Amino acid sequence: MSFTFEVLAGGLGNTLQDAGRFGFRHQGMPVSGFLDAPLAHCANALVGNPADTTCLEMRLLGPTLQVTSGFARVAIAGDAVASVQRASGVTQALANWHSVTLREGDTLTVGAIKNGCAYISFAGGLALTSAMGSESTYVRVGVGGLNGRALAAGDRLPGRARAISPDAHELRAPEPFCHKGGPIRVMLGPQADHFSPDARRALTTSTWTTTPEQDRMGVRLAGVALEHQTRAHADIVSDGIAPGTIQVPGNGQPIVLLADCHTVGGYPKIATVISADLPRLAHMPAGTAFQFEVVSGDTACMALGEADAALQAWLGRLQRYAPSGFLDEQALYAENLVSGMCRAE
Amino acid sequence: MAGYLEPKLLPMGDTAWTIELGDAIDIDVNARCMGLAAAVHAEVDAGTLSGVRDVVPTFRSVTVHFDPRLAVGAHLGTLLLALARDVSAPATAKRSWRLPACFDARLAPDLPVVTAQTGLSEAAVIAQFLSTSLRVYAMGFMPGFAYMASIPEVLACPRLSTPRTQVPPKSLAIAGRMAAIYPWVSPGGWNLIGAVPLPTFDLSHSAAPALFEAGDVVSFYAIDWEEYAHLERPVADPVAFRAQFLSGLPE
Both A76 and A111 in one domain: the answer is yes
Both A158 and A190 in one domain: the answer is no
Both A168 and A198 in one domain: the answer is no
Nearest chain B residue (CA) to A275: B14
Q: Residue A203 in contact with residue A292, Cβ under 8 Å?
A: yes
pLDDT at B230: 97
Q: Does domain B96-248 have CATH number 3.30.1540.10?
A: no
> A172 to chain B nearest CA, in Å?
28
User: Cα(A285)–Cα(A209) distance, rounded to whole angstroms?
Assistant: 10
Both A49 and A80 in one domain: the answer is yes
**Residue A318 or A232, more confident:** A318
User: Cα(A96)–Cα(A300) distance, rounded to whole angstroms?
Assistant: 30
pLDDT at B109: 97
Q: Please name the member of B16, B54, B141 whose beta carbon is closest to the beta carbon of A26.
A: B54
pLDDT at B173: 97
Question: Which of these, A213, A194, A215, lies nearest to A271 by C-alpha position?
Answer: A194
pLDDT tens string, chain B, 251 residues long: the values are 589 999 999 999 999 999 999 999 999 999 999 999 999 999 999 999 999 999 999 999 999 999 999 999 999 999 999 999 999 888 777 799 999 999 999 999 999 999 999 999 999 999 999 999 999 999 998 999 999 999 999 999 999 988 999 999 999 999 999 999 999 999 999 999 999 999 999 998 988 999 999 999 999 999 999 999 999 999 999 999 999 999 865 44
SS3 A136: coil
Asked if ipTM goes beyond 0.90, one says yes
Mean pLDDT across the stretch A12-41?
A: 97
> A26-48 b/e with 16+ CB inside 10 Å = b?
bbbbbbbbbbbbbbbbbbbbbbb
Q: Please name the member of B12, B24, B74 whose beta carbon is closest to the beta carbon of A272.
A: B12
Does residue A344 have a pLDDT over 60?
no
> Would residue A262 count as lying in a domain?
yes
Task: Suggest the residue from A194, A258, A264 to mutate for an interface test with chain B (most B CBs closer than 10 A).
Answer: A264
Q: Which domain holds residue A66?
A: 3-174
φ/ψ of residue B7, rounded to 5: -60, 150
Full-model pTM? 0.93
* Banded model confidence at residue A1, pLDDT cuts 50, 70, 90: low
Chain B residues with CB under 8 Å of A188 CB are 11
Omega before A63 cis (within 30°)? no
Q: Residue B115 in contact with residue B122, Cβ under 8 Å?
A: yes
- Mean pLDDT in chain A? 92
Chain A residues with CB under 8 Å of B60 CB are 237, 239
Q: Which ranges in chain B are annotated with CATH 3.30.1360.40?
A: 3-86
Both A150 and A17 in one domain: the answer is yes
Last residue of a domain, one of A116, A140, A174: A174
> Would residue A245 count as lying in a domain?
yes
> Would residue A147 count as lying in a domain?
yes
> A257 to chain B nearest CA, in Å?
12
pLDDT at B90: 84
Q: Which ranges in chain B are annotated with CATH 2.40.100.10?
A: 96-248
Both A32 and A84 in one domain: the answer is yes
Q: What are the distances in angstroms from CA A117 to CA A15, A53, A92?
A: 11, 17, 23
Q: Residue B42 in contact with residue B17, Cβ under 8 Å?
A: no
> Would residue A338 count as lying in a domain?
no
DSSP-H helix ranges across A37-177: 37-46
**Inter-chain CB pairs, A–B, below 8 Å:** 151
What is the tens place of the pLDDT at every residue in A86-101?
A: 999 999 999 999 999 9
Both A225 and A122 in one domain: the answer is no
Does residue A328 have a pLDDT over 60?
no
Does residue A333 have a pLDDT over 90?
no
User: Cα(B20)–Cα(B56) distance, rounded to whole angstroms?
Assistant: 12
Q: What is the total count of domains within chain A?
A: 2
Both A107 and A195 in one domain: the answer is no
Does the beta-carbon distance from A308 to B55 stay under 8 Å? no
What is the tens place of the pLDDT at every residue in A175-188?
A: 999 999 999 999 99
Both A49 and A162 in one domain: the answer is yes
Computed on alpha carbons and rounded to an integer, the radius of gyration of chain A in Å comes to 22
* Banded model confidence at residue A151, pLDDT cuts 50, 70, 90: very high
Both A151 and A194 in one domain: the answer is no
> Would residue A331 count as lying in a domain?
no
Q: Please name the member of B12, B37, B147 whose beta carbon is closest to the beta carbon of A189.
A: B12
What is the tens place of the pLDDT at every residue in A197-239?
A: 999 999 999 999 999 999 999 999 999 999 999 998 999 999 9
pLDDT at A144: 96
Both A130 and A221 in one domain: the answer is no
Chain B residues with CB under 8 Å of A308 CB are 69
**Residue A280 or B2, more confident:** A280
Mean pLDDT across the stretch A93-121?
A: 96
Q: What are the distances in angstroms from CA A116 to CA A14, A30, A71, A161, A279?
A: 11, 21, 29, 32, 11
pLDDT at A82: 97
SS3 B35: helix
Last residue of a domain, one of A139, A174, A209: A174
CATH topology for B3-86 is Gyrase A; domain 2 (3.30.1360)
Range with the poorest average pLDDT among A56-60, A148-152, A330-334 = A330-334
Q: Residue A47 in contact with residue A165, Cβ under 8 Å?
A: no
pLDDT at A166: 58
Mean pLDDT across the stretch A151-158?
A: 97
Both A161 and A295 in one domain: the answer is no
pLDDT at A163: 61
DSSP-H helix ranges across A190-252: 197-205
Last residue of a domain, one of A174, A202, A229: A174
